[in-house]
Each structure stands twice: as structure tokens, then as C-alpha cells.
Amino acid sequence: MTLLGFNLSEYINGVAKKHRDVSKGMFPGYEISAITNGVHTFTWTCDSMKRLFDNYLPGWANEPELFVRVGRIPDKDLWDAHMEAKRNLIDFTNARTGAGMDYDTLTIGFARRATAYKRAALLFRDIDRLERICSGKLQLVFAGKAHPRDYPERRR
């Protein structure tokens, strides 16, 4: 089926550079390009970080390569922006769910399309290790939506 698709297509791409490279090795003779999945930085950046980046990395939203200069941002300013974002996330989560999350606890957010291959449950594979890493205190925020036809893999 792959060769049929290749032979009937005018353009072939992988979803990342590594995917392209592996595919070229598997299917020599085909021109395979790479389209790296990305995000619209301005949409996916919280307000506190936008202000920080605007101040220290003008033009960041249109030129992501400017992030190579992130080292010029003072640690305190970066931490303050991070904590503002964390407080906003926790306030939002508490208002929506009544979860009672607090600001002083390690918080991990996992927000993406909810599907088994994204491996959200991998975090729980070794509970003892997780407890050692976070000293037993951890808050998790899982957010996402499954496609209506997205079903977990079924074993036969």
C-alpha cells in the first residue's frame, strides 16, 4: 500500500526529519520531504511569557529562531512569568473542577489530543519512581479531547 501511495502521489512527506530519513532508507529512489509538526507560537504562549519574550526577544512570534538567545532573559524574570502562568492554570483548574490544587506543589500539565498512542499513562508506569522524583507531592492536569472515532488499540 505504501508503494501504491508513493506511485500515485505527486508529493511525499514524513511528519518529521527523522521520519523522512528513515523512510528514505526504507524506500530508496523516492523523494521524501519532511514537514515538522509545529505550533502557532503566539496562540500557544501564555500572556506572562508573551510579555517576557516581547521584552527580551522582540519578534519572537514570527521568528522562533530568536529563542537561541533565551539565555539573556534574567532567571528571576523567567521564574516570575512561569509562576504567573502556573497560578493562572491552577486558578482556572480549581474554578472548573474544585480540585483544590495549590501553588507550591510540583504541577505537570499534559494537554494534547487524548489518544492512546500519545502515552499519557506512561507517567504511572513506575509509581515508586514517580514518588521518589516528586517527594510524594505532585499535581497533574490532564486536558484534551479525543476524536469521536479514536478508540484504544484492541488486541486480538
CA distance 102 to 41: 28
Q: Pick the more confident residue, 68 or 153.
A: 68
Residue 17: pLDDT over 50: yes
DSSP-derived pairing of the beta strands 33-34 and 107-111: unpaired
CA distance 72 to 55: 11
DSSP-derived pairing of the beta strands 139-143 and 107-111: parallel
Average pLDDT over residues 15-35: 90
Asked whether the beta carbons of 144 and 113 are under 8 A apart, the reply is yes
- The torsion angles phi and psi of 60, rounded to 5 degrees, stand at -55, -35
Q: Pick the more confident residue, 151 or 82.
A: 82
Angle at 14 between CA 111 and CA 145, to 5 degrees: 20
Q: Tens digit of pLDDT for each residue in 32-81?
A: 998 776 677 878 899 999 999 999 999 998 888 899 999 999 999 999 99
Q: Tens digit of pLDDT for each residue in 82-107?
A: 999 999 999 999 999 999 999 999 89
Q: What percent of the chain has pLDDT over 90?
A: 54
User: Domain-by-domain residue ranges, the chain?
Assistant: 1-37, 40-103, 105-146
Average pLDDT over residues 3-20: 90
Reduced to 3 states (helix: H, G, I; strand: E, B; else coil), residue 108 is: strand
Q: What is residue 120's DSSP assignment?
A: G
Q: Cell digits for 53?
A: 519574550
pLDDT averaged over every residue in the chain = 88
- Of residues 42, 101, 52, the one with CA closest to residue 74: 52
